[in-house]
Amino acid sequence: MGVGKVHRLGTSLKEGDVRRLRVGDVVYLSGELYTMRDIAHLRAIEILRGKKRLPFDLRGKVIYHCGPIVRGTEVVSAGPTTSMRMERTEADLVHLSGLRAIVGKGGMGRGTLEALRKFGAVYLEYPGGVGALAARSSKGVKKSYWRDLGDPEAVWVIAVEDFGPCFVTMDSHGETLRKSA
Amino acid sequence: MKAHEVAEALRVLETDLPRDVEEGLQGCLRREGGNSREVMKAIVENVRYARERSIPMCQDTGTLVFFVRCAERQSEVVDVIRKGVELATKEVPLRANTVNPFTRKNEGRNLGRNNPIVHFEGEACEKGKISMDILARGAGSENVSGAFMLQPDLGAAGIKNIVLEAVRMAGARPCPPIIVGVGVGGTLEWSAYLAKRALLRPLNERAEDPLAAELEEGLLSEVNRLGIGPMGFGGRTTALGARVEWAHCHTASLPVAVSVQCWALRRVSAEWEGSEFRILR
């Protein structure tokens, strides 16, 4: 994969912001990331299907497949987790929550790719295992939700500055880096 | 042997990548281009920064696996290891990864039933001396590992095929460039143990056995022909090395286990002689 265009984005995104991004582009994010893994996806979908509101509004926001190490409000290490574990639930979350970007690693499947195209969202990859550098670009925990799930599975709202490189590997036009997805 | 010494070994394990692995990553950085190169730059910089700041290089501080040699008092050794893990979880800090497999409840201490994993090894050990190797195994790579019972007549070609298939199926998920640990022979569980143990041997040391060494070289070049590349972005380096350990097995069996290891091959050795404690790198 060649080096693509570089974009610097905030984390309250409009459809047009993500429709501009193409596979191979590189994104640096400044704003807030909502960490969400396996169980947080299930719980969020259950709430949204019941026509209730989440305690945090994901419309236009960026979620991060990550279970960080946190000490107080300090983010100690916070790289991405394997996104494929969320494949079964991601399309529903994109649809129901109105999120605009997902950050993870390892790629996702056809269900997510189709949801990104249909609802105008994008999948980005931060280098796996790069937890220390991710913490360096984080400015601390702003809030946390669903702590009953245990630290790795809880939702942490992490403030970030120039968080990247995040590589666009699935865009909102049905394109994907890995053709076998 | 003291809990704070175990915790210190765990801090080194999680924050300071062994030099042979770091050199492998630097070699990969030199070979790759495009976004694969950008990924490798971030990884190499992350290793340096984590060591400098003494913070875990990866937020997944893993399941902790101990390979222990000691002549006596095994239950006391397990007790000190558990206390050390609990202490390290607070002080390094480690992420609390350990949950009940049925309820998924996390008690936040990285302790549970039969966890951390402690293997006592049969190797001779002097009285009064304890030595151990520790691995931190993240879920991304553990989840794509497996053990297979092959037909013996499939031979070396069968072993290669099953390993390549496992690596191909794993794709980008285990955070390549990977290290491939392979256990051949023994029984189902013994092959899995050997595959993990194979990851302890440095990347610049070949297997002693000529057939195992040949398998290691063959596997490395074939895995790298898969083209998965750093983080699955494509490239010449999918693996930094392949490591094979083996045992004799039943005449009707050919167990083969593959322990896929992410680029962050976190291993450390420690030993105690009387009250003297040393971390070996």
Query: Hey, how many other C-beta atoms are within 10 angstroms of the C-beta on A110?
Result: 13
Closest alpha carbon to B266 in B72, B15, B6, B1: B15
Contact present, B76 and A95 (Cβ < 8 Å): no
Cα separation, A99 vs B124, whole angstroms: 58
pLDDT cut 90: percent of chain A above it: 96
Does the distance separating the beta carbons of A130 and B46 come in below 8 Å?
yes
Which helix (H) or strand (E) is B75 found in, with range? helix B74-91
- pLDDT tens digits for chain B (281 residues)? 999 999 999 999 999 999 999 999 999 999 999 999 999 999 999 999 999 999 999 999 999 999 999 988 899 999 999 999 999 999 999 999 999 999 999 999 999 999 999 999 987 788 889 999 999 999 999 999 999 999 999 999 999 999 999 999 999 999 999 999 999 999 999 999 999 999 999 999 999 999 999 999 999 999 999 999 999 999 999 999 999 999 999 999 999 999 999 999 999 999 999 889 999 98
Contact present, B104 and B24 (Cβ < 8 Å): no
Contact present, B27 and B77 (Cβ < 8 Å): no
Convert the pLDDT of each residue in A82-107 to its tens digit: 999 999 999 999 999 999 999 999 99
Contact present, B22 and B14 (Cβ < 8 Å): no
Q: List, in sequence order, the alpha helices (H) in B98-153.
A: 139-142
Residue ranges and CATH numbers for the domains of chain A are 6-170 (3.20.130.10)
Give the one of A24, A66, A105 whose C-beta lies nearest to B231's C-beta. Answer: A105
- CA of A82 to nearest chain B CA: how many angstroms apart? 6
CA count, 13 A, side-chain hemisphere, B216: 26
3-state secondary structure of A96: helix
Cα torsion angle, B125, B131, B133, B136, sign:
positive
Give the one of A106, A132, A136 whose C-beta lies nearest to B232's C-beta. Answer: A106
In chain A, which residue's Cα lies nearest the Cα of B99?
A: A150
Contacts of A82 in chain B (CB under 8 A): 139-140, 143, 173
pLDDT at A181: 42
Cα torsion angle, A22, A24, A30, A33, sign:
positive
> Where exactly are the structural domains of chain B?
3-13+57-138+266-280, 140-261
Given the residues A41, A65, A95, A173, the one annotated as active site: A41
Does the distance separating the beta carbons of B56 and A131 come in below 8 Å?
yes
Please give the class, per CATH, of domain B3-13+57-138+266-280.
alpha beta
Contacts of B110 in chain A (CB under 8 A): none
Cα separation, B233 vs B238, whole angstroms: 10
B250 phi and psi angles, rounded to 5 deg: -65, 145
